[in-house]
Amino acid sequence: MPGDPSPINRAILAYDGSAKADEGLFIASYLAAQWKTKLFVMTAFLGESVKTETLLRSQVYLEDQQIEATYLAENRPTAEAIQQNIIDNQIDLIIMGGYRLNPMLEVMFGSTVDQIMRQTQIPLLICR
């Protein structure tokens, strides 16, 4: 990450219910508990309704850990939703799962991870 380090006060977790997103959920929970980071959990589904049970799954876990979070359901592309929430909620850190497919296929067909890496200027934590 270029530039000087900055405090991490507000983090957004892109959560789709996958195993890699669950890893991000565990890390986000730790940051919220230990660093008092304000947490936003976002789920985005394009072309279909937002799956409320996906957000509910993350909410149940975080409530079990006694972590408060803001939950965001988006009906637009994930990268676009993340970028807008960075602005709207003054986000300092993005947490998301890694590639779903083989990385070579992701490069050929594009991925949300690649889009975010190209577009953002804030720290990004990719969970594998």
Model confidence pTM above 0.75: yes
Q: How many domains does the chain have?
A: 1
Residue 100 structural domain: 10-127
On whether residue 1 sits in a domain, the answer given is no
The CATH number assigned to the domain holding 47 equals 3.40.50.620
Residues 70-88 have a mean pLDDT of 93
Each residue's pLDDT tens digit, 32-60? 999 999 999 999 876 665 577 888 999 99
On whether residue 5 sits in a domain, the answer given is no
Backbone angles phi, psi at 38, to 5 degrees: -70, 130
- How many other CB atoms are there within 10 angstroms of residue 54's CB atom? 19
CB 99 within 8 A of CB 113: yes
